[in-house]
Structure 1
Amino acid sequence: MDSLPVLHLSSKGWMSETRQLERCLTESQSPKLQYLLMQDDVFSKGQQLVPELMQHFQIPLRLLSSIYRRSNGFFAFEESLAKDGELQAYYTWFRVLVKAVSSDTSNYTWHEMTFCSRWDPQSCLVLCIGVDLTFQHLLQQTLSRMWPKLSPSEPFSMHIPLIETILELQDSSVWSIRDVVRTIEKGRSLSTLGFQDFTMMHETARHAIHSFETLSVSTETVEAMQQQVINLSATPKREGSGHAEASHQIQTHIASQIRMLRSLFLRSQSNKERLQNEIALSYNLIAQRDSQVMKDLGEAARLDSGALKTIAIVTMAFLPPTFLSAIFSMSFFNYTPGQGGAKSEWSVSNKFWVYWVCAIPLTCLTMAIWCWRQKQKGN
């Protein structure tokens, strides 16, 4: 890595330019206050930083393990004291994740950012890893608004604009998800609800959960910084009036930012719960629609059952005469009309038993097959 974008403080304010890395790290040739901006997220990818950066920012090897590289946020620090207890150097390392979601929820971008800082009484340098052009522009705008009100004499002075920029990214993320949730609420319609709607709702729910998670971790990270600012202000060597006033200023800014993060956190939680409410309502509406369909089918089945009952009654009414007609149409019976004054006679064949011998077994066999089929269906 030969050169990289740098934001540095000059007599004209905060300026952006591309500088040689060696020149940035050499105190005698570099501005006293600088942000080194690396767009490529080498930290999350597991790539090694150049040795000069590792050495300059005193990055612990433990932070390069997969646990920290895959984490959704952390904060660590180290201080170096002189023999008289004076703060000689101060190093911080922290990580923040922000998820930016598009209006149709199909496109999203993860901002996985890691920051390393080195402070001493003469200078402060912050390495920003994984910051895209959006973050860089927001940071420059934030610096132009905030810096005249911040004192560079405190180790966390240059963290305040970073937190403010992260806060803007989180605000954009939370409200973009809120806009999608509001669109779902306003477009609620049972007649148009389909598979794609459920897919979008579940995709939005996934984004809302991620936003809730990252905001929670970001808030805890900044709270850890706040506690360290308080601890530094209580150091005997930094209780002078100048340090006390600057430290109080830093504490005021960071406390305000934490309140904003908590506010966004509650908004994120609201987004998640509202979306779950919409998903539950959609399922209930579909269940209600299905219940109405089943009710209509039941009513139709009842009407069909009444018609079948009528047919069954008519069939039962004609079944005995049909049976008798079939019996008497057989050749087993003979009717001889009377002639010449003789009486009419009915005669039955002595082979009439053949009919019963065949009919009864066939009837029993048919009933047995029917019972067997019913038993098979039951199993």
Structure 2
Amino acid sequence: MAQANQQVLDNTSREVTKFCQPQDTENLQLAIIHSKPSDEHQKQLYDLFGLSLSFWSKYEQEASGYFAAYDYPDPANALGAHTTTLRLLIKVAKTPEHPHSKDYAWLEFGIFTHWVHGGKVHVLVQCGDQPTTIDVLKRLHTEPVRRRCTRDPYAVQAYILEHLVKEFDASVWSWRDRVRQFEKDRLKPKTKAKAVDTTSEPDPDYQRMHEVARHVIHCTEMLATAINVVDSIIEEHSAFLTDNHHLLQSATFETRNVPSMLRRHRSFLKAFHLRSQALQDRLSNEIHLAFAAVTQHDSKVAVRIAEATQSDSASTKTISFLGLIFLPSTFVCSLFSTSFFSLQPTVDLDGSQGTPSTTHPDNIPTYWIVSDRFWIYWAFAIPLTLFTILVWSIWQNYTALRHPKASDMIPKGMKFGAMFSPRSKDRKRYLNGLNEIELGQKDCGPV
């Protein structure tokens, strides 16, 4: 990696050195660099061509796009040179080389032109090492393109922008493919065989969706910036023609065709911008639909849980009702089976057998005996019952203090009024007050 970076710096140094050397035999001089030149070369470019040092500053290098034009007078106070600086950024999707690499890339384009009346132009381009871009830039040396660029100072921008417009188009389509993939993934269950379980839980990749949405927003921003940049180029070109029309009398066709080309580029960029905005809307629709699908699935699950709970509740009620039926008899049985009650035959009491009964199932006469200490049962049962109720009440109040609810803060007078008030209007008023308190629309003040 370090060796590759050093090689890029060396190539930049060679290109700038060659660019700064006078070439009287060439009327168009081109330099393509892939990194910032050294401070010495930056100063040399400023001294020879007027390329501002701020062109290499951080805020201009990281700007999403801008355009500027400057005139430099000659000793006779006429136009000596006309310079322009242009910068654009393009964000494209790409297939990551490995799982931890980025799935997108920034294409940077910085263009500087130095045009001198009389047919000489210097072009410095700072960009990536994309082969297609380099091939397009090298075609500036072809005769038709070079002739246009030497006759009109804005023909270079018009020519390079034609390639950048194609890059913007490719950028929008690359993100369109990502958005379309989400749409296809959503439609897959409907196109599969009937054996597919359509009730399975939806599992949208929200994080991935929002990542793509972020990139599409950047793409839209870059297109809007590019449109503003082209507008600035058209305005500056119009102003240049107005101020220097006498210098371009022999370039009638170039001065007419360059604005036409720029307007054409702008119309394409506006179309791509609308397409990018449509991608944002489509992706936003997919995100909302994914949320709705998950919510709908959760609602169906909640309904099934409620139905199962209702069934369990019915079973519980049945069991509770059966227990309620047997509870009184169980209590009576338990009470009379204690040692406080005793059923003894008469033979056990006076030593005689007695006369068998002829009217009852019991053939042996018996006596029903209740202990005179039966009060002990109530002496323990009643206090223990009251103590249990007291402990339960304390525990309930403690839980309500730790986890308060609106219903716990309702005054008891209001609760009793809602249940036992003799007048229906009063009961309705109390009930309305209870509802307002539970909904948080009313303070729990005195009733």
Q: TM-score, normalised by structure 1?
A: 0.85
| Residues 1:269 and 2:269 aligned together | no
Number of the residue aligned with 1:51? 43
The one of 85, 90, 93 equivalent to 2:85 is 93
Q: How many residues align?
A: 362
**Which stretch shifts more, 108-117 or 142-151?**
142-151
Matched-pair contact (CA < 8 Å) for 2:16–2:41: no
Aligned partner (choices 178, 181, 185) of residue 180 of structure 1: 178
Alpha-carbon separation, structure 1, partners of 2:279 and 2:153: 36
Counterpart of 1:364, as a letter, is L
When structure 1 is superposed on structure 2, of 153-162 and 63-72 the one drifting more is 63-72
Aligned residue among 121, 135, 138 for 1:137: 135
Q: Describe the superposition over 1:207-259 as per-residue Cα deviations: whole angstroms up to 9, x where unpaired.
A: 11111111111111111011111111212543764344322211000000000
> Greater RCO between the two (CA within 8 Å, min separation 6)?
1
Separation of aligned partners in 2, 1:125 and 1:275: 44
Distance 1:240 1:160 in 2: 17
User: Are 1:321 and 2:317 an aligned pair?
Assistant: no
Is 1:119 the equivalent of 2:133?
Answer: no
Equivalent residue letter for 2:68: A
Summarize the Cα distance change of 1:120–1:240 in structure 2 as closer, same or farther, 3 Å threshold.
closer
Pairs within 5 Å for 1:204-223: 204-223=212-231
Deviations 1:78-103 (CA, angstroms, capped at 9, x unpaired): 11235777432111112111112125
Partner-residue secondary structure (3-state), 2:250: helix
In the alignment, structure 1 residue 256 sits paired with structure 2 residue 264: yes
Judged with a 3 Å threshold, the aligned counterparts in structure 2 of structure 1 residues 347 and 30 are, in CA distance, closer, same or farther, namely farther
For the residue of structure 1 that corresponds to 2:114, the secondary structure is strand
- Report the counterpart of residue 3 of structure 2 in structure 1: none
C-alpha distance in 2 between matches for 1:62 and 1:116: 12
Which amino acid in structure 2 is aligned with residue 32 of structure 1?
N
Aligned to 2:407: none
Q: What is the letter of the counterpart of residue 137 of structure 1?
A: D
Q: Choose from 92, 103, 107 the match for 2:103.
A: 107
| Counterpart position of 1:370 | 392
Aligned twin of 1:349? 371
Moved more, 261-270 or 180-189: 180-189
* Residue 246 (str. 1) matches residue 247 (str. 2): no
Name the CA distance, whole Å, in 2 between partners of 1:209 and 1:333.
Answer: 89
* Cα distance, 1:332 vs structure 2: 0.6
Q: Point out the structure with max Rg over C-alpha.
A: 2
Any unmatched runs of 5+ in structure 2? 1-8, 190-199, 347-352, 357-364, 404-447
Q: Which structure has the highest helix share of the two?
A: 2
Identity %: 28
The question of whether the paired residues in 1 share the 8 Å contact of 2:342 and 2:369 is answered with yes
Name the SS for the 2:155 alignment partner: coil
The 2-side partners of 1:360 and 1:47 are apart by 98
For 2:293 and 2:325, locate their aligned partners in 1 and report how far apart those are by CA, in whole Å: 48
After TM superposition, the structure 1 stretch with the greater mean CA deviation from structure 2, 161-170 or 302-311, is 161-170
Aligned CA distance change for structure 1 residues 296 and 193 (closer, same or farther; 3 Å): closer
CA contact under 8 A between 1:96 and 1:114: conserved in structure 2? yes
> CA offset at residue 113 of structure 1?
2.2
Look up the SS of the partner of 2:339 in the other structure: coil
Deviation of 1:49 (Å): 4.7
Separation (CA, whole Å) in 2 of partners of 1:93 and 1:211:
22
Contact 2:43 2:53 in 1 (8 A): no
Shift of residue 55 of structure 1? 2.4
CA distance in 1 between counterparts of 2:378 and 2:243 reads 115
In 1, Cα distance between equivalents of 2:302 and 2:80? 78
Q: C-alpha separation between the residues in 2 aligned to 1:70 and 1:273?
A: 28
Counterpart AA for 2:178: V
Determine the C-alpha separation between the residues in 2 that align with 1:118 and 1:192.
63
Which letter does structure 2 place at the counterpart of 1:349? S
Counterpart amino acid of residue 354 in structure 2 = G
Partners of 1:333 and 1:348 within 8 A in 2: yes
Q: Deviations over 1:274-294 (max 9, x none)?
A: 111111111110110011001
Q: In 2, are the aligned partners of 1:233 and 1:243 still within 8 Å (CA)?
A: no
Residue aligned with 2:121, SS: strand
The 1:327/1:279 distance shift into structure 2, 3 A limit, reads: same
Shift in CA distance, 139/281, structure 1 to aligned 2, threshold 3 Å: farther
> Distance between the aligned counterparts of 2:124 and 2:141, measured in 1?
16
| Cα displacement (A) at 1:60 | 2.5
The answer for the alignment partner of 1:336 in structure 2 is 344
Instruction: Give the conservation status (yes or no) of the 8 Å contact 1:37–1:131.
Output: no
Aligned mates of 1:146, 1:356 — CA distance in 2: 118
Distance 2:323 2:143 in 1: 94
Moved more, 265-274 or 127-136: 127-136
* TM-score, normalization by structure 2: 0.73
Which amino acid in the other structure matches residue 372 of structure 2?
N
> 181, 187, 194: which one pairs with 2:203?
194
> What RMSD, in angstroms, separates the aligned Cα atoms of the two structures?
2.9
1:230 paired with 2:227, answer: no
Aligned AA (1:73) = G
Secondary structure at the residue paired with 1:165? helix
Once the two structures are TM-superposed, the CA of residue 145 in structure 1 deviates from its matched residue by: 11
Q: Any conservation in 1 of the 2:112–2:123 contact (CA below 8 Å)?
A: yes
Higher fraction of strand: 1
- Check the 8 A contact 1:212/1:268 in 2, yes or no: yes
CA contact (8 A) 2:34 2:129 kept: yes
AA aligned opposite 1:25: C
Q: Partners of 2:39 and 2:322 in 1: how far apart?
A: 88
Q: Is residue 113–residue 122 contact of structure 2 (8 Å, CA) maintained in 1?
A: yes
C-alpha distance in structure 2 between counterparts of 1:127 and 1:207, whole Å = 29
Alignment partner, residue 150 of structure 2? 152
